[in-house]
Amino acid sequence: MPDFSYKASDASGSVSTGTMPAISRSDAYRLLRAKGLQPISVSDINGAVSSNKKASAASGNDPLPRLNTTQLLYFTEELAELLEAGLKLEGALKVIEQRQEKSGVQPIAAHLRQRVRDGFSFSAALHDCGKTFDPLYCNLVAAGEVSGALPQILKRQCAYLTLISDLRRRVVSSLLYPAIVFTSAIVLMFVFLTFLVPQLSVLLGKTGQKLPIITRILIGVSEFCAQWWWAIFAFVGFLIISARAAVHTPAGREWWHRTMLDLPVVGPVLRAKFYAEMLQTLSTLVSNGVALLQGLNLMTSATMNVYLKALLTKTAAMVGEGSSLASALRRVGFFPAVLMDILAVGEQTGDIAIALERAAKRFDRDLTTRISHLTTLVQPAIILLVALFVGIVAYSMIAGILTSVSSLKSR
């Protein structure tokens, strides 16, 4: 009988690893679930490749595609509707597999259907699909399988995916226009200094008159840019490459992730986005039967910001030692006081899920307000910056021209 190594989590969210004998991988999954463990990964110790690659090699198909947010939302919504209509899981996956529109959804559905037919649980089959389904998604499905409310869980997951996608879309859209305007301003400045001003300096130089200091400074900067433009580009490229290399180190990444949260104007938006996402995720998990500690661990693994990940790790450790969520967040010191107040009320009433949902709505409104302030302040500020530059260049050129004309008249 072959041996399998496994990684699984228990009801409290603690992750354990080990080895066990089993007839097959599906039998190993069954034995783990019988022990009250939720399998995360199971692999043959004798050097077998991952389940994704094995399935692909056996079928001769390409590796499974990764679904984007829109496709994932469509798959989840359609599967929930089919299950709610009374179809069994395998039949619902078959319907999705046979849909006419070609996309990455069909091979994912076919793979999941085959895994379910092989005896895997649906949540275990989702784990085998690579990065399409994150641990949050898989654990919600596992909770739905245990409670027998999989269609309802999937519908809540649709609402969650829609909300998170909307949060990210609002943040990106609020920063996109200022970034385009700022980039355009830099290009405009370079064109002015490299092409337009040198032509003006040649014209003014023929008069032989001493030009105003602001005009001389502008001409000097222009000559430097025209002669050393390659050095400027090389220096900027060096700075970008050096910054990227520094950020890729552990200390540099933590510093940059922390600095982003402290940037003026942008930092408060990123903080509000994190609060809204974290609270909405925990609310969804806890409402569907996932233990709070396990939900914190899942949220920690899904957080990309290294600094915030460390804070959540500390919070989860305190909760694991018996602290309440509100007191743990208070001891961490990063989270706003209003959040602790809302959670403390929920812990006193015994309904932490409702408190998390209330807090999520509160910070979602805060995020909307901050995004509105961002678009209101940043866009005019960048336009004013562009106007200031154009005004300085225009004033310098006009001052030089007027000085030259005055000297000609005096002659």
Predicted local confidence at residue 11, as pLDDT:
66
pLDDT value, residue 50: 40
Domain with CATH 1.20.81.30 in the chain: 164-411
Maximum pairwise Cα distance, the chain: 107
Class level of CATH domain 164-411 = mainly alpha
Cβ distance 64 to 52 under 8 Å?
yes
d(CA 376, CA 354): 33
Distance of alpha carbon 296 from alpha carbon 334, whole angstroms: 16
Q: What is the C-alpha separation between 225 and 84, in angstroms, rounded? A: 66
Nearest to 327 by CA among 352, 302, 353: 352
- Spatial neighbors of 81 by CB under 8 A, at least 6 apart, are none
**Is 102 a residue whose pLDDT tops 80?**
no
Please say if the pLDDT value at position 47 is more than 60. no
What are the tens digits of pLDDT across the range 58-101?
344 456 778 888 888 888 888 888 888 888 888 888 888 887 67
Global pTM? 0.60
Q: How far apart are CA 329 and CA 296, in angstroms?
A: 12
Q: State mean pLDDT over 8-21.
A: 76
**Inter-residue contact 204 to 211 (CB < 8 Å):** yes
* pLDDT tens by residue, 184-231: 777 877 777 777 777 777 766 666 667 778 777 877 877 777 778 788
pLDDT reported for residue 55: 41
Q: Which CATH number fits domain 1-48: 1.10.1060, 3.30.70, 3.10.20, 1.10.10?
A: 3.10.20
For the chain, where do the domains classified as CATH 3.10.20 start and end? 1-48
Mean pLDDT of 334-341: 86
Q: Which of 122, 128, 117 is nearest to 55 (CA)?
A: 128
57 confidence band (pLDDT: 50, 70, 90): very low
Give me the pLDDT at residue 63, please: 67
Q: Which residue has the higher pLDDT, 258 or 401?
A: 258
Stretch 99-112: mean pLDDT: 80
Angstrom CA distances, 202 to 157, 175, 220, 396, stand at 67, 41, 12, 15
